[in-house]
Structure formats: C-alpha cells, structure tokens
Amino acid sequence: MRHLINILDLSVDEIDKLIDVADDIMANPDKYNEVCRHKILATLFYEPSTRTRLSFESAMMSLGGNVLGFSEATSSSASKGETVADTIEMVSGYADIIAMRHPKEGAPIVAAMHSTVSVINAGDGGHYHPTQTLTDLMTIRHEKGRFDNLTIGLCGDLKFGRTVHSLIGAMARYEGVRFVLISPEALRLPGFVKHEYITSKGISYEESESLEEVIGKLDILYMTRIQRERFVSEDEYLALKDSCILTAEKMKSAKPDMIVMHPLPRVNEIEVAVDSDQRACYFKQAHYGRYVRMALIMKLLGLIENDVPYTPAEDKKPIVYGVYTCRNPRCITSIEHELPQAFKLADKENSIYRCVYCETRQNR
Ligand code: NCD
C-alpha cells in the first residue's frame, strides 16, 4: 500500500510524472472527469484548512469521485477521545483513499500503520506537508523551467513551518541547489531538517536574519507565515510576528526573474502592494494545488497509465523501543500514550536517535 507521509516517499521521477499528469489535466480536463467514478476520498481534518481541504475535495469531485469527512476535530469522535488508530480502522472501510491533517506530529504515520487504503499527509503539526510541496514543485517547474542550480531563500517561520521542511527535503535532491535560510534566531530550521537534508549531504546553505541583505542573490523567495498556533507562549509570538516582511521596496533589490512563493494563508508577511508585481506567484501556486492533487489521487489509486516504476529505498536504520521517551509536546505520543515509544538511529557517529513519529532528538 502506497502512502504519502513525507515527500521523500516519492522519487524524483515519480514527481516529474505527477506534474506531467497535472499539466495534462489542466490542458484536457474532460479526459479525466470520470476516472474516479464510484471512488471515495475521506478528508479527515483535525486542524483548520482552506486551500488544502478544498483543493483535495475539488480534485476528487473533478475526477468524478465522491468525498466525505470532517473539517474540525470537534465534529469527529476525536473530541470523545477516540485514537487515530481506531478512527482509521473504520474510515478505511468507508473510503478508498484518505487525506488527513492533524495538529500532532506523526499522526499520519500512525494512520498509515492502521489503514487498508492509501493515506495522504495533508499536514502534521510543525513537521511535514508533502502535498503543498507538490504544488510548490509544480510552480517552480512552470516558472523557472528546472529544479537544479537554483538559489532558494526560505523566509519566516522555519522552525514550525511544515511546508518549508518538506520543500527543503524535496529540493535537496537536485543538483546545484543552494538554500538561504532567513529567520530570526528563535525560528531557525530544526535539526531534523537541517542535519538530515542539508548538512549531512554537504549542500550549500547560509543563514541570515535580514531579508534585505540576501534578497539580491535569490532565484526563488519562499515566504511563510509565523505559525502562531504552534507557540507555547503568546508573548513569544508577539515578539516575533513582524520579524520578516516582504515589501515592494525590498522587491527593488531582487533579480528581475526572481519568483515570490508563499503556501498561504498570508497574514502580514507580504505587503499587499507586492501582489501586482509580475514576480509574485502565490495565487498561481494555490491554483496548481488542485491539479497536482488530482494527479496524486489517481496515482495512489493506481489509475495513472504507464506510471513510473517504484523501488522503495531500503531503510536500514535500527529502531529502539522503550529506551527513550519523546518530550515534544506536539508529538502524537504526547496525547496517545499507548503508542510505543520508538526511536530510530539518525546519526551513528554521534549516537543521535530521533522519534519515529516526529523526528525529535532523544533526550540525553
Ligand atoms: C500551510 C499549512 O497549513 O502548513 N497552508 C497550506 O496548506 N497552504 C501554511 C500555513 O498555514 O502557514
């Protein structure tokens, strides 16, 4: 059973093929409007969403399929204390494919373990958001015509921004990509992303607190919102909320062909005056989401003709059970106490283990 939990669950060739299919759907929508007839997508959204949920639902309906689900945890049995595992045991009997968003990191991994149908991670806490990355990659291919040899600036909340984590994982697989990480110190990229995808692969990167200073060298500027809902302290959020703002004035120092992306929703981190700049791509980016999710649904239901062959990478990292306890308050194990505490060896040389659900490093 194929699931999409992390963007690395898809090979580079599979991503290329998905974007080819999405392009074909955009050009010939009628060819696809019956391909998912009698198929059901369940959208289980335990956390708010506009674009992701609606684009998934629109995608399934545009393929001739049906949709059921919930858009907030309070309207599901989660509010009565039902576990993810129990919910999924049932929903996988009601639907052919599941898209799930959850505030706790690693919840989709638990879902995949209990599902008899494909599970798509539609965002888990401050961890990953692989389908936003598919949307981002489609935008990059359309606007820049390539994935390699690009300098990508990621600006804003790099700590909790799950779209940033997945995009870095995806882009780190292409030749000659450089990252410029722009954030206040308190919102820097977490170790599981920085180490796993950048430093351990020898990829070139720099960190800066000033967008003005680095904007001139970027091919892509990926702006993000400060993720208010992930802060433990409101005061800390208030102190950081205006730290990275893109203005029309700053755009004057950017390359004429730099593109500005943003997963949306925007709060105040991009001045509205930037919207009319030719280089602003964020609304187009949101639009692509529907088509690439149509392609993804087709793929996971086995409906793409001549799909590229898939060879899963062998994961040989040893797992230890019951040795460490995850201390991340956003991990699914923080609310579902019967889940086994499992840690995977992430860095043998330095004996670093990471929680298999949320990838937080073990406490020493
Ligand atoms: C993002 C998310 O949910 O992580 N939104 C989206 O899916 N397009 C970004 C965000 O909420 O800031």
Same domain, 149 and 79: no
We report the CATH number of the domain holding residue 295 as 3.40.50.1370
Same domain, 149 and 280: yes
* Residue among 47, 127, 129, 293 whose CB has most ligand 1 atoms within 8 A, to mutate: 129
Same domain, 280 and 292: no
User: What is the pLDDT, as a whole number, of residue 117?
Assistant: 98
- pLDDT tens-digit profile of 20-32? 999 999 999 999 9
Amino acid letter, residue 227: Q
Determine the Cα–Cα distance for residues 333 and 85; give it in Å rounded to an integer.
Answer: 12
- Scanning the chain, the segments in alpha helix (DSSP H) are 12-27, 51-62, 84-94, 107-114, 130-144, 162-171, 191-193, 211-214, 234-240, 248-251, 282-300
Same domain, 115 and 245: no
Q: How far apart are the first and last CA of the chain?
A: 36
* Cis amide leading into 329 (omega within 30): no
Q: If you ran DSSP here, which 8-state letter would residue 343 be given?
A: E
Indicate the pLDDT class of residue 316, thresholds 50, 70 and 90: confident
- The Å distance, Cα 122 to ligand 1 centre, comes to 9
What's the domain count of the chain? 3
Nearest atom within ligand 1 for CA of residue 224? 12
Same domain, 274 and 155: yes
- Assess if residue 136 is contained within a domain: no
Question: Residue 45 pairs with which residues in a beta bridge?
Answer: 101
pTM surpassing 0.85? yes
**DSSP secondary structure of 184-238:** -GGGPPPHHHIIIIIGGGT--EEEES-HHHHGGG-SEEEE----GGG-S-HHHHH
- Assess if residue 87 is contained within a domain: yes
Containing structural domain, residue 120: 7-129+287-300
Q: Which residues are catalytic?
A: 51-52, 80, 101, 129
Last residue of a domain, one of 255, 273, 300: 300
123 pLDDT higher than 70: yes
Same domain, 46 and 72: yes
User: What is the pLDDT, as a whole number, of residue 302?
Assistant: 97
CB within 6 Å of ligand 1 — which residues?
51-52, 123, 129, 132, 162-163, 224-225, 263-265
363 pLDDT higher than 90: no
Same domain, 160 and 255: yes
| Three-state secondary-structure class, residue 55 | helix
274 pLDDT higher than 80: yes
45 pLDDT higher than 80: yes
User: What is the pLDDT, as a whole number, of residue 219?
Assistant: 98
